[in-house]
A and B are shown apart, each in its own frame.
Chain A
Amino acid sequence: MQRLSSITELKTRQAELAGALDNDTPCIVIPTGTCGLAGGAGDLIRIAKREILANGLAGKVRLRITGCHGFCQVEPSVLVEPQRAFYPRVGLEQMKRIVEATSRGDVLTDLLYTDPDTGLPIEKQEDIPFFKHQVRRILAWNEKVDPIRIGDYLAHGGYLALEKVFGAGVPGEVISAVKRSGLRGRGGGGFPTGMKWELLARQTARRGKVLVCNADEGDPGAYMDRSLLEGNPHSILEGMIIGAYATGATEGIIYVRHEYPYAIEHLNIAIKQARQLGLLGKHILGTDFSFDIDIVKGAGAFVCGEETALIRSIEGKMGEPRQRPPFPIQKGIAGKPTAINNVETWANIPVIFRMGAEEFARVGVANNAGTKLFSLVGKIRNTGLIEVPMGMPLKDIVYGIGGGPVGKSKIKAVQTGGPSGGCIPADQFDLTVDYDSLAAAGSIMGSGGMIVMDNNTCMVDVARYFMNFLKDESCGKCFTCRKGTQRMYEILDDITKGKGTLDHLDLLTELALAVKDTTMCGLGQTAANPVLSTLRYFRNEYLNHVLEKRCGAFVCSDLVGAPCQSACALDTEAWRYVAMIEKGDFEEAYQIIRQANPFPSVCARVCDRKCETRCNLAVSGGEAISVRALKRFITDRIDPSIYRQPASLNKRKDAGRVAVVGAGPAGLAAAHYLFLYGHKVTVFDANEEPGGMLVSGIPTYRLPIEVLRKEIASLLDSEHVTLKNNTVLGRDMTIDDLFNEGFKAVFVAIGADKSQRLGLEGETVDGIYSSMEFLKAFNLHGNELAKGHVGVVGGGNSAVDAARVAMRQKDVKSVTLLYRRTCQEMPAYAEEVEAAQEEGIKLETLVSPVKIRYIEAAKAEGVTVETFVEPVQIDAINGHLADIKCVRNRLGDFDSSGRRRPVPMPESDFTINLDTLIVAIGETPDSAPLAAMGLDVDKNGRLRVNTDTLETNRKGVFAGGDLVTGPNTVVDAIAAGKKAAGVIDRYLCGRELAEPPQLKLPDVFVEPAAVGDEEPEDVSRAEPTALPAHMRQKSFAEVELSLTVEQARCEAGRCLRCDLAFTRCKDRDEQTVCASMKEESI
């Protein structure tokens, strides 16, 4: 290109290029940032070129190769202009179709991005939620220009800001404009850019002044600068030329890390082009102003992003900071006054002059003007590069743009500002993202990394990770930074290994504060942030690690052991019985299951299987072992009589009599273990049959009644564990009575079976039942309450149970389940919901009933009522239910739990004609009688107990299960009973009630199966067969069937045997094993 020798020439050249822009011919835009190329954009380009040439489409389709557009999650992506259609994750075959369709001017609807909420394709890129909420002043250029063509940049108005700047001829004006724009340094510190320039302009320097572009982007998970340098290098050059003009700088240096090869390549090309065009070098655009830019490549030390270290690195010395003052603005590179700005700050400068300082400042909040780039990464649905106005609430970024958590997990925190930033917990997501509020929350803006963490992230481990990074990346010059980060890492490492104490937490805080206070540069001063902010917001997790030796996120392997075992509330050694099944020793497997769990057959059917969600196979992206199906396989095959009870202690002299109130899973488990401890137990139950919720709440197609009866019978005997039916606490006896009768301790586990109500008028009419009422009537008495068209309100397991039981009843024509949120958010087990749909149950989500009407009221509102219902209603005193009026919801804002609130849509009400309505929106304990007996009950009706000892406020009275926790899983109830038995035993023996927490690591060595040389075939997870849907209708036969022997052994063989890491050296000849392991590692 010909050199431009005046501003006028620049303008004419620009006008020529802009005029030559072809906006009508369809254009395929392929983003090729590092992310795009890694995703396969290179192949897409080749295919697009080949297709265009082979089919003679050269004049009909254009192709533009650009930098990253931001939506890195769906790379390689393709944008088609002028329709602005966005195709995510484009495959090679699809690329051919896109070229062909684009040449015809068509859009391929099936390849478009689909809205995750509605499932509908979105036609324009601008309407995709990821893009919709952004303000893309800088990033939009990445789509427009080919980074290696200066003509592209010029044609879209690039370098035109120079005209305004040079035209005014007053450098002071430029600085004042930057000041008015309110731009603050985007590198993270937030120092006002205008002020920095003013300081530099004031310096007198005979040897010249230097401008530096800091592109030493080293935070894990941050890549804003890289994408800008790769996608639009000319904007950085333009910014620096303007800066040089304003401050009188003569040299420019771009310090970019060596790890960014594309960025360096594009920068080199851009600088060369700018020099050719006369935009860099001597006498720029024919003026007296001279300025040139060089690239210095950094070796990749994190600390070199710190300005004094960066200066030393540019000077060719070891990259370590020095004490300020003197500040770089006074004495910088080789003693020359130096101003250092971040890549993004430079990219903002042309924007300011293109749109005017006032217009620029219009976006953002007070003292924080403009937009900010973030790289949104981590456990989130849409990862990528985003540009948002300053002051946007964090939740809009995380949930709005980021699309919320992946799968069913829950977002826990966001880490901003890289390793020296802090973690902001989910309940503070209302926080606006700007320099000041982030600092107030204990984090920093940093350069803009945003790492989202969900409940599978352990915050102690996160702090440890960052401290590990910092201890390696600290330059080591100042003692407190070098040793401080090292010592903090050491302590955090101890905590994650279960060796931490409470003193460690205090020491950690003290040390972190000292490091923050006494270190020299920004790295050290912010190094403590990960520790301090996690300690501030997630102290509970630290305490869990230290006191209970548990890692709630199952990350710290030394605390977790085998995840299946530590996930189980009953501490079942799942790995061990799975290993036994693999060996074919089914009886031993049964012993292992039964030892931990008195209800093996029940749990084999209704357990919520936390072991499977935590299975390392599932966590690493595969399919979890079917632990529950394997348990079912064993319990179906093995007769319980083979169980050898542990040597009974029931000849003990100090044995006492214990009363257990409630024969549900918690009560029966407590009774059983108390018996094993050697105590005599009497179990009181309000119903005619023991089993509590197991018998009244769980339908027989899930848990056959004969299986349950057999299991309960094995736990009761006439001598040690006796049962008294039909005895209600509060009606037939009081706690005082029990003590008077000679019971030494009482365990109350009466569960939670009082149904919550919708709170609507007319809820007492006939035809409306609570789910408990409905299920109990059928399970205990065989009464079929559901008739005609049935509606079920709720989304929990009991709602689905009720719906499916209703479906099986004789007089039922249809069943509709009404839930107020989406399927995704249903608390019921997902497979139950699916099974229910297979059985023909309609699912109406996003619907919440607002009004139930009497027939009279329905008539008054002009609703047609089916005739055969009418007489019944009139005769009844309360009237019979006829229909319910519903209103449709839409998803609104995110609440603090990260779920979107259902918001009623106006005028969306519709009516469902119903004969039966079952309300299943949750249960509470019926604890009024307990309160009358002096027990401490909270406002939800739950009994308050000491969580460590299950003690109530009355001496000798303990409580557990749903009564304490509210409706919960069977396995948690059994665990509560098991725990209570231990506590009550210690109480009766006069020992300390609470037990010190113990690390429960695998401690039995089970020989792993021999693995042959051949790679084992990929075997997928064995799912138990289910009864075909047509056979399930109107039948209460058990739906889930058992695995076959081959299936079970094959499934067990898939186990990764996480236990071996802990047991391998213990039980065998230690030396041979260890020696052979050593040899392997050598």
Chain B
Amino acid sequence: MITLKINGLTVSVEKGTTLLEAAQFLGFPIPTLCHMEGLSPYGACRLCVVEIGEAPKSRLVTSCTYPAEEGLTVRTASTRVLKARKMVLELLLASCPQSKVIQDLASAHGIRQQRFKQEHDDCILCGRCVRMCEEQMMAKAIGFRSRGENRSIGTPFDAKSEVCRQCGGCIYVCPACQLRCTYTEPDKAICGGCANLTPPCAEKEQFDDMMCYMNPCVACEIKKD
């Protein structure tokens, strides 16, 4: 067993437990996007950062990937953590304003406005779908391509995948793209909490270019019927 201190409370956990799991065990809420039970930790969305160690040498790490260490001091909601988290959410909101999950998180953190140029991406590259496809569905139909700002998720060479079984798991786990699955009822994708955000339907022609990787998309096919 490993003993560590989270927000002043001492907790003993098994070796290999992540900080996120330990904190959740104690009931401390940590927002996450790329983390999902049953999928391997990935550490891409940076939302679950917590502060470890003692000042001035303390640093921020993602709790979903950091294993519990003996004697570690963890703060899940220090000023530094909250400041960083807010900036992450602001960046998320600037890229993916139409995601209800992101809107709710931003709203819960008191963010009412973002200061960047508004984009309308439909993906935050959290990699949940990739891991779902690989780890749970054993298909490896989709993966990451390219790097930097050109990074994207899709099938190799965008060709119709021969290993995809159209299970829909990738859509099911997506935190950003509920929009795709509401298709004909876009207003349902908007929580309405942030009056300052333009509904994406106002700026984009229907959702032609927002299709998911499934070809054809099961969800959309069902809606059509």
Contacts and interface: CB of A to CB of B under 8 A. Distances in A.
Contacts of A486: 149
Given A517-B60, A518-B88, A474 B147 contact: yes
Given A475-B148, A478-B44, A323 B125 contact: no
Nearest to B41: A323
Interface stretch (B91-99, B154-162, B177-185, B188-196): B91-99
B149 A482 contact: yes
5 contacts: A322-B65, A325-B66, A478-B44, A507-B115, A517-B49
Contacts of A484: 91
A788 to B, nearest CB: 72
Contacts of A476: 125, 144, 146-151
Nearest to B61: A323
Interface in B6-47: 41, 43-46
A482 B94 contact: no
A1023 interface: no
B80 interface: yes
A684 B88 CA distance: 64
Given A477-B127, A485-B148, 12 more contacts: A319-B147, A325-B66, A474-B148, A476-B125, A476-B150, A478-B43, A478-B45, A478-B46, A479-B44, A482-B148, A514-B88, A518-B46
Contacts of A301: 147
A490 B149 CA distance: 12
Residue among B43, B88, B117, B148 with max Cβ neighbours from chain A (10 Å):
B148
A867 to B, nearest CB: 79
Contacts of B117: 490
A269 interface: no
Given A490-B116, A490-B117, A518-B60, A480 B88 contact: yes
A511 interface: yes
Contacts, number: 101
Interface in B152-210: none
Contacts of B94: 483, 487
B220 interface: no
A321 to B, nearest CB: 10
Contacts of A482: 125, 148-149, 151
Interface string B43-61: 1111001000000000111
A335 B94 CA distance: 39
Contacts of B127: 477
Nearest to A524: B46
Contacts of B45: 478-479
A631 to B, nearest CB: 44
Nearest to B116: A487
Interface in A487-515: 487, 490, 503, 507, 510-511, 514
Contact of B65 (A320, A323, A511): A323
B114 to A, nearest CB: 10
Given A479-B44, A510-B87, A514-B83, A520 B62 contact: yes
Nearest to B65: A323
B84 A479 contact: no
Given A323-B43, A325-B67, A478-B43, A471 B149 contact: yes
Interface string A312-353: 000000111011010000000000000000000000000000
Contacts of B49: 517-518
Given A511-B87, A517-B80, A477 B44 contact: yes
A798 interface: no
Given A511-B87, A517-B80, A518-B88, A475 B147 contact: yes
Interface of B: 41, 43-46, 49, 59-62, 65-67, 80, 83-84, 87-88, 91-92, 94-95, 115-117, 124-127, 144, 146-151
B147 to A, nearest CB: 5
Contact of A483 (B41, B80, B95, B126): B95
Contacts of A477: 43-44, 125, 127, 144, 151
A372 B103 CA distance: 50
Interface in A501-542: 503, 507, 510-511, 514, 517-520
B48 to A, nearest CB: 10
A303 interface: yes
A322 B44 CA distance: 10
A483 B91 CA distance: 7
B91 A479 contact: yes
A485 B62 CA distance: 19
B68 to A, nearest CB: 11
A588 interface: no
Contacts of A909: none
Interface in A1-43: none
Interface of A: 301, 303, 318-320, 322-323, 325, 471-480, 482-487, 490, 503, 507, 510-511, 514, 517-520
Nearest to A520: B43
A473 B148 contact: yes
A519 B61 CA distance: 8
Contacts of A518: 46, 49, 60, 84, 87-88
A472 B116 contact: no
B51 to A, nearest CB: 9
A476 B41 CA distance: 17
A485 B149 CA distance: 9
Contacts of B116: 487, 490, 507
B149 A479 contact: no
Nearest to B67: A325
Contacts of B62: 323, 520
A475 B125 CA distance: 12
A472 B44 contact: no
B148 A471 contact: yes
A1035 B194 CA distance: 82
Contacts of A483: 91, 94-95
Residue among B43, B46, B66 with max Cβ neighbours from chain A (10 Å):
B46
Contacts of B150: 472, 476
A519 B67 contact: no
B182 to A, nearest CB: 24
A95 B176 CA distance: 67
Closest 5 CB pairs of A and B: A476-B151, A514-B87, A323-B65, A472-B148, A518-B46
Nearest to A511: B87
Contacts of A514: 83-84, 87-88
Contacts of A325: 66-67
Given A507-B115, A518-B46, A480 B91 contact: yes
A483 B119 CA distance: 11
A322 B151 CA distance: 17
A687 B115 CA distance: 60
Contacts of A517: 49, 59-60, 80, 84
A301 B67 CA distance: 29
A473 B66 CA distance: 25
A636 B56 CA distance: 71
Given A323-B61, A480-B88, A318 B144 contact: yes
A273 B61 CA distance: 46
A473 B60 CA distance: 23
A894 to B, nearest CB: 35
A202 B206 CA distance: 61
A193 B91 CA distance: 39
Contacts of A487: 91, 94, 116
B169 to A, nearest CB: 21
Residue among A303, A471, A472, A514 with max Cβ neighbours from chain B (10 Å):
A514
A503 B87 contact: no
A471 B49 CA distance: 22
Contacts of A485: 148
Contacts of A319: 147
B147 A473 contact: yes
A480 B148 contact: no
A325 B125 CA distance: 23
A520 B44 CA distance: 8
Nearest to B121: A483
A479 B148 contact: no
Nearest to A506: B115
